[in-house]
Amino acid sequence: MKTEILQKLKSNPRLWELIEKREKFSWTMAIIMLIVYYAFILTIAFDPSLLGKPLSENMVTTVGIPVGIGVIVFAFILTGIYVNKANKEFDVITKELHDSVKDEL
Amino acid sequence: MKKWLLLFLGTLSLFAAPAAEVSGKRDLNISAIVMFLLFVALTLGITYWAAKRTRTAKDFYTAGGGITGFQNGLAMAGDYMSAASFLGISGLVYLKGYDGLIYSIGFLVGWPIVLFLIAEKLRNLGKYTFADVVSFRLKPGPTRTLAAFGSIATVLLYLIAQMVGSGKLIQVLFGLDYAFAVIIVGVLMILYVTFGGMLATTWVQIIKAVLLLAGATFIALAVMAHFGFSFESLFKEAVKTHPDGIKIMSPGGLVSDPISAISLGMALMFGLAGLPHILMRFFTVADAKEARKSVFYATGFIGYFYVLTFIIGFGAIVFVMKNPEYLDAAGKIIGGNNMAAIHLSHAVGGNFFLGFISAVAFATILAVVSGLTLAGASAISHDLYASVIKKGQVDEITEMRVSKIATLVIGILAILLGIAFEKQNIAFMVGLAFAIAASANFPVLFLSMYWKGLTTKGAFRGGLLGLLTAIVLVILGPTVWVSVLGNPEPIFPYKYPALFSVTVAFIGIWFFSKIDNSKEAQEEREKFEAQYIRAQTGIGAEGATSH
């Protein structure tokens, strides 16, 4: 990247706004995913019987089934939330930044 | 080339015919082979089409960068939905019930992490391989060499596991000789990759992903329809049939202690973020936005696929476990647990559908090994040859030629190793591949994107330390020390070393970067800001070429 472009970008507060917003958001999402996954797998490591309980009396389906499928669905929903927010919010600022240096490129 | 392909097809069918007669007890092999030949004809046609469009190095490595997010999502999912995961996970569910689900969840959750932390920055910084990102501001000599060796090690281990698995699978499905099956796989993948590059490899992967998802959906729907779409009825019947009874509905012995649980999770999550053939796919799309969409679609397809394999595993318990048609004289399932899904496909869809699923399984192997081979060849031609040996002073035609030679060498090597390892215990190989990806490739890549203080020495020494720790701990652990080498007790007690080796890598990289006070190190730290801004905005990033 040319020095002039870099200087111009650095002096643009929108750049720092983008970085702060997106980093905060993506790290939050990553940590949520880690917590959910490790809560699931550590439950299994410490107390497997918790997930082995039947959903209700006379049923063979255990609590673990909806929880497990739930983790899969949850992972997909998280990626959907991220993509949606990035498309709507982050891409707008990114485009502004691209436009601001269009002439120098 | 066309003539050559026709000749090859002819030879293939020649061999296929007598083989089908030998073991064609139910005429099943003929329909499977016909469908497989149709797939081969179609994919070779695509390779021919792609070959005409693969002129530059960029075309070869990244399909010109013009793949859409949706297509790339399917291709990434295809890379991940290998025959091992389709047959292996449904086989694990068949054998252990709920534990199979735990396993597949671990494989899935890495994807969102890759999306949140890696995908867009990777696309904004790199060109063809993840080593481009690592060496963005670091010295290419040492860092690319390390990244290339990490890539090649990961690819080869993965490739051997796939080749051996495929040889055995094809032996059972088609009645072909093991060595001959391995050679077919090797020759076809060399053809796809050398002539069609990433464009052919991507489309082979997409077609296979669609076929596999369609086939698995049909089996799962057939199973669910039988039970009036009630999971409870399916589970009830499975519990009645399975010798472990109600135990299959709850977590068993897969994860027993917290250290193993954490370590396995780290291997799967960070390993994914260090798999060269997956990372390479991020460069086939136009920009960070498409890269992001790719992961969204990939996560959706893979998640859906794992739900299907879970249903298929339980379906197999009900329809296969007690059905004498699928059992040998000793009452064991013919071909082993991994054949559960295959037998189930026959139980719900008859001979024709069995042929279809067998052909899809074969196609799956081909597509996955092609992606692996391309990633390995790129590490050799782009990272080692063009960037390290020639220091970037090389024309595209030479680089392309080297990448094709590298493909040929890897392909032949894969065939030879596949044959050599036929009778070996290779269960540790995919685990080791993930451990190396997580402990060498991932820490260096991650810190190069996020940590200003990273220096060449730190990345090289720390990354190497992570690589060696992973290899040594796998060798001293239960999978190699006990299962392969036959010692009574493992020296290192845990099956998954990632918790330790990833930590060693991070500490090593941090330590060697911190004590590096050289002038170069200072310059590398100063270059971080420009790199970070490009990673965030994509300004200055590699664009797509139009055809």
Q: For chain B, what is the domain count?
A: 1
Interface membership of B262 toward A (CB under 8 Å): yes
Q: B19: pLDDT confidence band, cut at 50, 70 and 90?
A: very low
The DSSP call for residue B110 is H
Sequence-separated (6 or more) residues with CB below 8 Å from residue A18: A90, A93, A94, A97, B536, B537
How far is the CA of B439 from the CAs of B151, B269, B289, B411, B454, in angstroms?
Answer: 12, 11, 28, 26, 16
Task: Number of A to B CB contacts under 8 A, please give it.
Answer: 161
Would residue B544 count as lying in a domain? no
Give me B427's structure tokens. Answer: 């269960």
Q: Are B227 and B234 in contact (CB under 8 A)?
A: yes
CA distance A45 to chain B (A): 5
Best of B105, B137, B230, B531 to disrupt the A interface by mutation (most A CBs within 10 Å)?
A: B105
For the residues of B84-96, what is the DSSP string, one character each? Answer: HHHHHHHHHHHHH
Would residue B485 count as lying in a domain? yes
Q: Report the number of secondary-structure helices (H) and strands (E) in chain B.
A: 23, 0
Interface membership of A39 toward B (CB under 8 Å): no
> Residue B371 sits in which domain range?
2-537
pLDDT in tens, B476-489: 998 889 888 889 99
Candidate from B116-125, B170-179, B309-318, B457-466 with smallest mean pLDDT: B170-179
Would residue B542 count as lying in a domain? no
Statement: residue B9 has pLDDT above 50: no
Statement: residue B25 has pLDDT above 80: no
Q: Are B345 and B254 in contact (CB under 8 A)?
A: no
pLDDT in tens, B90-143: 999 999 999 999 989 999 999 999 999 999 999 999 999 999 999 999 999 999
pLDDT in tens, A28-83: 999 999 999 999 999 998 888 899 999 998 899 999 999 999 999 999 999 999 99
CB contacts under 8 A, B 307-326 vs A, are 307, 310
Q: B17: pLDDT confidence band, cut at 50, 70 and 90?
A: very low
User: Using the beta-carbon criterion (under 8 Å), do A98 and B115 form an inter-chain contact?
Assistant: no
pLDDT at residue B362 in the model: 87
Statement: residue B10 has pLDDT above 60: no
Alpha-carbon distance of A78 to B110, in angstroms, equals: 12
How long is chain A? 105
Question: Which spans in chain A are helix H?
Answer: 3-10, 13-46, 49-52, 64-85, 91-100
User: Using the beta-carbon criterion (under 8 Å), do A46 and B307 form an inter-chain contact?
Assistant: no
Q: Are B312 and B100 in contact (CB under 8 A)?
A: no
User: Using the beta-carbon criterion (under 8 Å), do B539 and A98 form an inter-chain contact?
Assistant: yes
pLDDT in tens, B397-413: 899 999 999 999 999 99
What is the SS3 assignment for A1?
Answer: coil
For the residues of B405-444, what is the DSSP string, one character each? Answer: HHHHHHHHHHHHHHHHTTTS--THHHHHHHHHIIIIIHHH
Statement: residue B167 has pLDDT above 90: no
Domain at B402, CATH number: 1.20.1730.10
Q: B21: pLDDT confidence band, cut at 50, 70 and 90?
A: very low
| Terminal-residue alpha carbon distance, chain A | 9
Q: Is the dihedral of CA B356, B361, B364, B370 positive or negative?
A: negative
pLDDT at residue B23 in the model: 39
B263 chain-A contacts, CB cut-off 8 A: none
pLDDT at residue B427 in the model: 73
* Domain spans, chain A: 17-104
Q: How many CB atoms lie within 10 A of CB B500?
A: 20
CA distance B239 to chain A (A): 8
A82 chain-B contacts, CB cut-off 8 A: 112, 115-116, 292, 296
% of residues, chain B, pLDDT over 70: 94
Q: What is the ipTM of this complex?
A: 0.95
Statement: residue B53 has pLDDT above 50: yes
Alpha-carbon distance of B535 to B117, in angstroms, equals: 11
Give me B328's structure tokens. Answer: 């040998």
pLDDT in tens, B200-253: 999 999 999 999 999 999 999 999 999 999 999 999 999 999 999 999 999 987
Q: Which residues make beta-bridge pairs with B67? A: B285
What is the SS3 assignment for B451?
Answer: coil
Would residue B546 count as lying in a domain? no
Give me B39's structure tokens. Answer: 């797939």
pLDDT at residue A1 in the model: 67
A10 chain-B contacts, CB cut-off 8 A: 529, 533
pLDDT in tens, B458-474: 999 999 999 999 999 99
Q: Which residues make beta-bridge pairs with B333? A: B327
- The stretch B25-52 carries a mean pLDDT of 83
User: Using the beta-carbon criterion (under 8 Å), do B102 and A62 form an inter-chain contact?
Assistant: no
Q: B544: pLDDT confidence band, cut at 50, 70 and 90?
A: low
pLDDT at residue B546 in the model: 46
Alpha-carbon distance of A15 to B533, in angstroms, equals: 8
Statement: residue B12 has pLDDT above 70: no
Closest C-alpha to B199, from B291, B289, B72, B368: B72
Best of A56, A76, A77, A88 to disrupt the B interface by mutation (most B CBs within 10 Å)?
A: A76
Q: Are B76 and B223 in contact (CB under 8 A)?
A: no
Sequence-separated (6 or more) residues with CB below 8 Å from residue B35: B355, B356, B358, B359
Residue type, B95: L
Statement: residue B144 has pLDDT above 90: yes
Alpha-carbon distance of A10 to A3, in angstroms, equals: 10
Statement: residue B530 has pLDDT above 60: yes
Closest residue to B116, CB basis, from A26, A37, A76 = A26
